[in-house]
Amino acid sequence: MSYEIEYDLSNTKEAEDKAIDDCKEWLTLRRFNKVVKALQQDEGRTSKNRLILYLGLLGIQGYPAHVMIRRYWNPQQSLFN
């Protein structure tokens, strides 16, 4: 996001929900859903650092990027490919 948002980390669940809401607002719901789908289908092919870089290119940085990865990224590699 092109501006800095402070999150109150005393309540982690609320802070994470707020970060996700901010991402939805920034990307629009349609683009947000595409990003979530890509994160879920990644199956561990992309490193966390590269995902943070990719999210940064979309304008999502810092805490919201880490929350997106923690919530939606599937780091488990598929054994059937």
Task: Compute the residue count for the chain.
Answer: 81
In this structure, the dihedral spanned by the alpha carbons of residues 60, 62, 68 and 73, taken in order and rounded to 10 degrees, is 110
Query: 39 in a domain, yes or no?
Result: yes
pLDDT in tens, 4-54: 889 989 999 999 999 999 999 999 999 999 999 999 999 889 999 999 999
The confidence band for 80, taking pLDDT boundaries of 50, 70 and 90, is low
Query: 79 in a domain, yes or no?
Result: no
Q: Which amino acid type is present at position 20?
A: I
pTM (2 d.p.): 0.85
pLDDT exceeds cutoff 70 at 1 = no
Taking alpha carbons only, the member of 80, 41, 56 closest to residue 1 is 56
Query: 3 in a domain, yes or no?
Result: no
pLDDT at 43: 87
- Domain encompassing residue 51: 12-72
| CA–CA gap between residue 36 and residue 73 (Å, rounded) | 8
Query: 2 in a domain, yes or no?
Result: no
